């Protein structure tokens, strides 16, 4: 095991100054003993987007089953894996914790199916697209706010290293090693998942931990929901154990798989190679991914669910877009048009109107000091950007409740 302390993000590291940079000066209390990165961690922990993760799907739409993995459990599992690896390698644990906790704040509801639907809606309406890594950065930069000592709300204003780790976390690429880049980039210029490697070794640890975290956890959920039968898993387990002397699993479950990969990464990572798997560990990861795709993610049983999810998201998008289009046709301010619909759709309109008044040129509340990001007077794409952001922040539960409201005739 190699000691990474010389490349950890600390005051002696040449990258430290850039890693700690924030977009704006941040207030400090006299009795605040936190590091810059632990301050990021707590700002994320206190955010509303983090709270909503408990009702966002990881893979399966199963909100009535308390034991199926949610997005909140996923980020906490990534945090746990990243903590163990970074602690053993003597990296900055507080930075890995901040990145891990925030990496999926902008993930779409209904898992990756929801992400694909929002991507489709974005492109159909002239936007550049949607992917959750960039949306998570968008959320911590521009959507999420927190109160200061005087009840005024501000953007989270996280450090560059945390923000970088969030947008660079894409864990679905089949990389055997992940080594940080040296160049400083404008994170707003990120165009597609995995375009850049993280700026820090700590970010690389989170990226690897994200890959490790879902491999066996999704298998456990698939068995619980009868998507996958135990005989299929047993046959796969036998195949795995017979194909490589390094793999001898009495059971393929979250505990055994996570433990194997944590030890593999700790043992095989070097400063020269980066955060790395062994050859056999990399082969096992690929086999597990292939098994999950063929038996879980592409399972035909999910087709009905996928159509249902598309109907929910598209219907709400089209309803709110229609109200906007009608307001433009009548030359009516959008906020007034929304108020007229509040009796018909009380939960949806009340929620969306608050969102519009917080982030657009219609703002009237003086206690909001966060950035205005939608100008409905001058920007043709404001409504579509606003709807994509609003829907992407919702939990599965809330979307389902809103959908039932618009189906109901009072």
Residues 85 and 97 sit within 8 Å (Cβ to Cβ): no
Residue with tokens 């690389």: 204
Residue 287: its pLDDT value, please?
A: 94
Dihedral of the alpha carbons of 160, 50, 370, 147, in degrees to the nearest 10:
-110
Report the alpha-carbon distance of residue 337 to residue 323 in Å, rounded.
7
Reported pTM: 0.95
Residue 115: its pLDDT value, please?
A: 95
Residues 85 and 207 sit within 8 Å (Cβ to Cβ): no
Q: Does domain 37-105+144-297 have CATH number 1.10.3210.10?
A: yes
How does the average pLDDT of the chain come out, rounded?
93
Report the alpha-carbon distance of residue 60 to residue 378 in Å, rounded.
40
User: Angle at CA 303, nearest 5°, toward 299 and 304?
Assistant: 135
SS3 assignment for 220-251: HHHHHCCCCCHHHHHHHHHHHHHHCCCCCCCC
Residue ranges for the chain with pLDDT beneath 50: none
**Ranges for all domains in the chain classified under CATH 1.10.3210.10:** 37-105+144-297
CA atoms within 13 A on the CB side of 156: 31
Residue 346: its pLDDT value, please?
A: 96
Dig out the tokens for 280 from the structure. Answer: 């056999």
- On the 0-12 / 13-18 / 19+ scale of CB atoms within 10 A, 65 is exposed
Q: What pLDDT digit, counting tens, does each position of 74-132 carry?
A: 999 999 999 999 999 999 999 999 999 999 999 999 998 999 999 999 999 999 889 99
Residues 264 and 279 sit within 8 Å (Cβ to Cβ): no
Dihedral of the alpha carbons of 261, 263, 265, 270, in degrees to the nearest 10:
-170
Residues 113 and 135 sit within 8 Å (Cβ to Cβ): no
Task: Give the strand pairing for 177-178 and 153-155.
Answer: unpaired
Report the alpha-carbon distance of residue 305 to residue 120 in Å, rounded.
17
Residue with tokens 């644990």: 93
Q: What pLDDT digit, counting tens, does each position of 360-390 carry?
A: 999 988 889 999 999 998 888 999 999 999 9
Residue 172: its pLDDT value, please?
A: 62
SS3 assignment for the chain: CCCCCCCCCCCCCCCHHHHCCECCCCCCCCCCCCCHHHHHHHHHHCCHHHHHHHHCECCCCCCCCCCCCEHHHHHHHHHHHHHHHHHHHCCCHHHHHHHHHHCCCCCCCCHHHHHHHHHHHHHHCCCCCCCHHHHHHHHHHHHCEEECCCCCEEECCCEHHHHHHHHCCCCCCCCCEECCCCCCCCHHHCCCCCCCCCCCHHHHHHHHHHHHHHHHHHHHHHHHCCCCCHHHHHHHHHHHHHHCCCCCCCCCCHHHHHHHHHHHHHHHCECCCEEECCHHHHHHHHHHHHHHHHHHHCCCCHHHHHHHHHHHHHHHHHHHHHHHHHHHHHCCCHHHHHHHCCCCCHHHHHHHHHHHHHHECCCCCCCECCCCCECCCCCCCHHHHHHHHHHHCCCHHHHHHHHHHHHCCC
Report the alpha-carbon distance of residue 393 to residue 24 in Å, rounded.
24
Residue 80: its pLDDT value, please?
A: 97
Residue 405: its pLDDT value, please?
A: 96
Report the alpha-carbon distance of residue 353 to residue 350 in Å, rounded.
5
User: How long a stretch of residues is the chain?
Assistant: 410
Residue 63: its pLDDT value, please?
A: 62
Residue 1: its pLDDT value, please?
A: 87
């Amino acid at each position: 095991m190699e000691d990474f302390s010389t490349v950890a993000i600390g005051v002696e590291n040449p990258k430290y100054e850039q890693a700690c940079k924030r977009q704006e000066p941040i207030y400090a209390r006299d009795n605040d003993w936190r590091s810059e990165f632990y301050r990021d961690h707590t700002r994320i922990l206190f955010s509303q987007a983090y709270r909503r993760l408990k009702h966002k799907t990881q893979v399966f739409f199963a909100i009535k089953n308390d034991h199926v993995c949610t997005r909140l459990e996923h980020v906490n599992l990534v945090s746990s894996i990243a903590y163990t690896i970074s602690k053993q390698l003597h990296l900055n644990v507080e930075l890995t914790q901040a990145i891990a906790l925030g990496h999926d704040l902008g993930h779409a509801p209904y898992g990756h199916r929801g992400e694909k639907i929002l991507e489709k809606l974005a492109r159909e309406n002239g936007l550049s697209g949607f992917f959750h890594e960039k949306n998570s950065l968008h959320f911590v930069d521009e959507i999420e706010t927190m109160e200061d000592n005087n009840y005024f709300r501000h953007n989270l204003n996280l450090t560059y290293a945390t923000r970088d780790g969030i947008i660079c976390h894409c864990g679905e690429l089949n990389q055997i090693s992940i080594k940080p880049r040296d160049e400083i980039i404008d994170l707003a210029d990120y165009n597609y998942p995995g375009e850049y490697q993280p700026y820090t070794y700590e970010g690389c640890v989170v990226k690897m931990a994200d890959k490790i975290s879902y491999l066996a956890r999704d298998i456990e959920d698939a068995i619980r929901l009868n998507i996958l039968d135990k005989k299929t898993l047993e046959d796969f387990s036998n195949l795995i154990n017979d194909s490589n002397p390094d793999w001898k699993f009495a059971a393929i479950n979250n505990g055994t798989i996570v433990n194997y990969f944590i030890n593999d990464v700790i043992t095989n990572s070097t400063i020269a190679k980066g955060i790395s798997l062994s050859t056999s560990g990399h082969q096992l990861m690929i086999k597990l991914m292939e098994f999950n795709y063929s038996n879980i993610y592409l399972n035909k049983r999910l087709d009905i669910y996928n159509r249902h999810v598309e109907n929910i998201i598209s219907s709400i998008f089209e309803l709110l877009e229609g109200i906007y289009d009608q307001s433009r046709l009548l030359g009516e301010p959008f906020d007034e048009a929304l108020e007229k619909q509040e009796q018909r759709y009380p939960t949806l309109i009340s929620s969306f109107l608050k969102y519009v008044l917080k982030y657009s040129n219609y703002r009237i509340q003086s206690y909001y000091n966060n950035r205005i990001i939608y100008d409905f007077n001058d920007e043709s794409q404001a409504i579509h950007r606003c709807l994509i952001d609003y829907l992407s922040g919702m939990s599965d539960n809330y979307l389902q409740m809103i959908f039932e409201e618009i189906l109901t005739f009072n």
